Amino acid sequence: MDSGERRRVGLIYDKRMKKHFDLEEVKHPESADRIQKIWNKLKDSGIAKRCTVMGGKEAKDEHISLVHNRKHIDFIKSISSKEEMFWKEMAKKYNSVYFNQGSSEAAYISAGCVIEVAEKVAEGELDSAFAIVRPPGHHAEPNQPMGFCLFNNVAIATKYLLDKRADLGIKKILIVDWDVHHGNGTQKMFWKDPRVLFFSVHRHDFGTYYPCDEAGSHKMTGEGAGKGYNINVPWEHGGCGDADYLAVWDHVLIPVAKEFGPDIILISAGFDAAIGDPLGGCCVSPHGYAVMLNKLLEFAGGKIVMALEGGYDKVSIANSVQACMEVLLKQKPIIGSSEAYPFESSWRVIRAVRKTLSPFWQSLSERLPVKITSMSSPYIQVVSSDSEDEYNTFSNRVSQHLEMDIENVIQPFSDLKVNDDTGITSQASNNSHTWREELSKIDIWYATFGSNMKLSRFLCYIEGGQVEGMRKPCIGSLDKSKPKEIKWESFPHRLFFAREHTATWGPGGVAFLHPECNSDEKAYLCLYRITLEQFNDVLLQENTSSFDMNYPLFDMTDLQSIEERKCVPVEAVKNGWYHNVLYLGKENGIPILTMTCQLSDVDNFKSGKVGMCKPSKEYANTLIRGLVEGKQLSEEEATTYIQEAASRAL
């Protein structure tokens, strides 16, 4: 395709989709502002003027029924005619959805928009198109809504082209789902269909990341005639960026796409893997999305339809969509190497995917290339712990100079090498083994003052999982051995509650221990005797889950100096809320350590720069149960202790 050719690019948007919103949670991530911000960005940049702009129209039931059953269609259609009580009850029934009077219309328009542009691209009236739609669709299953999704927009459009517009000659469709969450609904709808190659790259975190099941595993390859036509690339953790995604493109998606030979490509274009997204915890840049899209333009004569899925940081999503539109319009050349070096864990996933799919795709049987540019994905904090605000943590750290930030965080990782026989080897992996072996021999007391006072809650950080009241599971530690001893002690420090929302517990403050000693104060702490290796894994989970642990966060040098220094702020996780390791003394000659905020954070709490908030009922009850089960206080005494800590000013 001539790069100088003016491409006919469609852009479809309808403000009526903004009528769908959460009546109870104003700050809900899937808000109407998402599509408004994108639309404004494209208008202000002049991109919209270069496109064929269209308004939306509602999808027909007969087309929606190609992938959804009658009961589901009737339910979505009836929502707007119901009352608020019904919407709330139905929202509780389903997984991560909300409803209001505008939901039915928005869902029908969202699906209709994707059908409209897919048909025009298939007909040749447009070369490519982008559908700025909401609610998103890829989680919606044949019989139920879920994950912010009501109708599965991309799946409906795909079946429409294959089953209703056979005259257009579209016989094979590639669906690329780069949303950070697995497209479980789309997978189910084409599980046995060899006409559709479904490719999803997503966070999986060993089944603990939403949708929190094994459907997103690389072992899920399809069934019957569709065996081999379902490809999942499940990241093991957050923090994956351009390097990881481009490696998957070059070594999985692009080779398979060449073999498959699609007639058109539909992209479930979620941008929640982008830098700054409050839910995704990854760090794909606008340039990264542009390169990924540009590689796909080489197929199907450039016939690509992009449909918005997730993406919840309004600055990041607008920048990412603009970068993609510039590719579709051939407005800017794509500069930069496609060679990239991902996390070691990402190479492990890529090797597993290639091995599993190699019986179906000859190109995946070949050995991976030896020469890959050594690049490491940067550390970016992700949603995983009490330390993280599900909606605001990322957006507060994304500057207006996003491209400069991206350039600053991508760094060479020159000591990594590729071994033809065993995959990745590195000095870094040897370091990981060495420090873990060393620190596994050192015991410390980990002193807990928050939800970890309850043993079953603390064991989530060791064994993985979650307890009642938690919205997110923990990954767990590498060494899953239980604490060798458990003790309780009181310390002259102030317990207080701050922040306003966390991913783990939802709305409400979480516990902090004032880092300064005060003889007038008394805080109850539960002490767990664990290894220094385990302490590092807990420290990681309290602050992030996207840091490659090739080196310890808190090493022997820190341990040897902390008695004199009293505290050691951990630079590698400095954006976490609990990155300050505090020394509280010794018990039987073993150091007592806890993790909390710094004094500068306390000043921000006092000034009101960062909010203070009482804990949620679920979170407070976990602390109370911990104190009662530890036989420190009666339930009444524990309740009073927590209430006083939450109500007193700093």
Exposure letters 88-116 (e unless 16+ CB within 10 A, then b)? eebbeeeeebbbbbbbbbbbbbbbbbbbb
pTM of the full structure: 0.63
Q: Determine the 3-state secondary structure of 483 from DSSP.
A: coil
Sheet with 567-569: list strands edge to edge: 486-491, 523-531, 443-448, 590-596, 580-587, 567-569
HSE-CB at 240 with a 13 A cutoff on CA atoms is 31
DSSP secondary structure string, 195-229? TEEEEEEEE-GGGTSTT-SSTTSTT----GGGTT-
H or E, element range at 490: strand 486-491
Question: What pLDDT was estimated at residue 5?
Answer: 63
Write the DSSP symbol of residue 237: S
Q: Determine the 3-state secondary structure of 158 from DSSP.
A: helix
Class of the CATH-defined domain 435-646:
alpha beta
Q: Which two tokens stand for residue 507?
A: 């709305």
* Distance between CA atoms of residues 168 and 274, nearest Å: 35
* Distance between CA atoms of residues 118 and 122, nearest Å: 6
Dmax (CA) for the chain in angstroms is 82
* Distance between CA atoms of residues 298 and 117, nearest Å: 20
The residue written with tokens 């509780």 in the block is 92
Question: What pLDDT was estimated at residue 339?
Answer: 45
Question: What pLDDT was estimated at residue 465?
Answer: 87
Question: What pLDDT was estimated at residue 239?
Answer: 87
Q: Which two tokens stand for residue 531?
A: 């290894």
The length of the chain, given as a count of residues: 650
Q: Determine the 3-state secondary structure of 443 from DSSP.
A: strand
283: number of Cβ within 10 Å: 31
Q: Which two tokens stand for residue 405?
A: 């930030």
Class of the CATH-defined domain 12-332+341-364:
alpha beta
H or E, element range at 61: helix 61-64
CA angle 501, 506, 511 (to 5 degrees): 60
Q: Write down the domain spans for the chain.
A: 12-332+341-364, 435-646
Question: What pLDDT was estimated at residue 386?
Answer: 57
Return the beta strands (E) in 242-385 as ranges.
264-269, 304-308, 375-376
Average pLDDT, the chain: 88
Q: Is the peptide bond before 194 cis (omega within 30 degrees of 0)?
A: no
The residue written with tokens 């009352």 in the block is 83
Q: What is the pLDDT of residues 179-225, one digit of tens each?
A: 999 999 999 999 999 999 999 999 998 888 899 889 999 999 999 99
Q: Which are the catalytic amino acids? A: 139
β-strand partners of 423? 419
586: number of Cβ within 10 Å: 12
Contact 332, 367 (CB under 8 A): no
Q: Which two tokens stand for residue 262?
A: 């699609």
Helix-strand-coil split of the chain, %, nearest 5:
40, 20, 45
Query: Which phi and psi (to 5°) does residue 477 adopt?
Result: -95, 160
Question: What pLDDT was estimated at residue 342?
Answer: 82
66: number of Cβ within 10 Å: 16
Question: What pLDDT was estimated at residue 583?
Answer: 97
- pLDDT < 50 stretches in the chain: 1-3, 337-340, 373-384, 389-429
Contact 149, 140 (CB under 8 A): yes
